[in-house]
Amino acid sequence: MLRTTFAVFALSISVTAMAAAPPETTDLAPQTADFIAKDFHFSEGTTLPEIRIHYVTLGTPQRDAAGHVTNAVLLLHGTTGTSQAFLTPLMRRELFAPGAPLDARRYFIVIPDGLGRGGSSKPSDGIRTRFPHYGYGDVIEANHRLLVEGLRVTHLRLVLGTSMGGMQTWMWGERYPDMADALMPIARQPVAMAGRNWFWRQMIVGAIRNDPGWNNGDYASQPTQWIRTMPVFTIITGNAARMQRDAPDRAAAAKAYQSAVDQSAKYDANDALYWFESSWDYDPAPQLGRIRARLYSVNFADDLINATDLGVMQKLVAPIRNARYVEMPEGEESYGHQTLAHPEVWKRYLVALMGEAGQ
């Protein structure tokens, strides 16, 4: 069924058959590097002499007669992720393989570790809570400098982001309205943090700040009590029916909970604190009219973080020129918020977006 009110699309989804992973090619082989940005000014007023942005690329840049890169794509990951979120076998097969929507033989794909995460500069590198309290705007600025100063990329065919990366995609379209042909924020609504979305984040932030071992961030060993709160992230990002199938009795549910706690033990407490506090500057709604790129906003009906029953998307997307709101219904192939990690479910909309953007 196709629902067109306010340019909203809702389609039933069938999963693409899982083909064997293609042989590795030069274009599909990830290339890693670091970019150093000098004299980086944070929006909260602090300046660091330099910051490091770690990044991965796939494919080869193509240049026009003037030397400008013409085939660049920027991918932005979620809150607890890194560039590796886009390098799973599933992602590489469905997005970057020959014939896929972002075929690495055709596009030059740039995937940074966002500021504060992975191989990029972050509190756990040494200065802990003396690290500037960055916002999403700072993450975007660091990635922009990576592109323009580090890679000499001044134009993008596409900015695609999932979860936090989707939030930054909305902001990117406002901050640099002429830089990208297409925008695809996935699993993210363009509204400020409030309500349930802010509520659960404060559970984690409060657990870190009140952990007996945190010591205002100057701990000798990782605090451990706060990680027992982190499974709220599993709850808010999962699909209820799928969780029920995976843990059908109390023993299985208790085991799943402990597994989530154990998984959280790999995180540095200060890094995690900054992750969840850094959304303080996210509120793209007032400047959505600045967006000029072709845009598809893809959301999932069973996503508790971006609840469709808030009713904000039709209202906010409708006035944006060249924008579409895709609301994917819950079904057998649903994973809640984590459907973002299953491009076999949503990549058809990426194909449509790239086609509308003239690619």
- Using alpha carbons, select from 347, 336, 326 the residue that is nearest to residue 10: 326
pLDDT at residue 143 is higher than 70: yes
Q: Tell me how far CA of residue 90 lies from CA of 86, 184, 234, 333, 351, in angstroms.
A: 9, 19, 21, 15, 17
pLDDT at residue 244 is higher than 60: yes
C-alpha–C-alpha distance, residues 293 and 321, integer Å = 8
Question: Three-state SS for 194?
Answer: coil
- What integer is the mean pLDDT of 265-281? 97
Task: Determine phi and psi for 267, rounding to 5 degrees.
Answer: -85, 145
* pLDDT value of residue 71: 98
Instruction: Name the DSSP letter for residue 160.
Output: E
Read off the pLDDT band of 122 (50, 70, 90).
Answer: very high
Q: Tell me how far CA of residue 212 lies from CA of 144, 201, 227, 262, in angstroms.
A: 39, 19, 12, 19
DSSP bridge pairs for 111: 56
pTM of the predicted protein model: 0.92
pLDDT at residue 62 is higher than 60: yes
C-alpha–C-alpha distance, residues 165 and 301, integer Å = 19
For Cα atoms 135, 137, 141, give the angle at the middle one, nearest 5 degrees: 125
pLDDT at residue 22 is higher than 50: no
Nearby residues of 210 by Cβ (< 8 Å), 6 or more positions away: 226
C-alpha–C-alpha distance, residues 355 and 160, integer Å = 15
User: Would you tell me how many other CB atoms lie within 10 Å of the CB of residue 321?
Assistant: 10
- Using alpha carbons, select from 85, 106, 119, 120 the residue that is nearest to residue 28: 106
Higher-confidence position of 22 and 130 = 130
Read off the pLDDT band of 95 (50, 70, 90).
Answer: very high
Read off the pLDDT band of 25 (50, 70, 90).
Answer: low
CA within 13 Å, CB half, 235: 14
- What integer is the mean pLDDT of 129-145? 98
Higher-confidence position of 4 and 222 = 222
What domains does the chain contain, in order, with CATH numbers?
5-192+285-356 (3.40.50.1820), 195-276 (1.10.1740.110)
Read off the pLDDT band of 359 (50, 70, 90).
Answer: confident
pLDDT at residue 117 is higher than 60: yes
Instruction: Name the DSSP letter for residue 125.
Output: G
- What integer is the mean pLDDT of 35-64? 98
Read off the pLDDT band of 27 (50, 70, 90).
Answer: low
Higher-confidence position of 64 and 28 = 64
- What integer is the mean pLDDT of 345-353? 98
pLDDT at residue 349 is higher than 60: yes
194-205 pLDDT per residue, tens: 999 999 999 999
pLDDT at residue 53 is higher than 60: yes
pLDDT at residue 14 is higher than 60: no
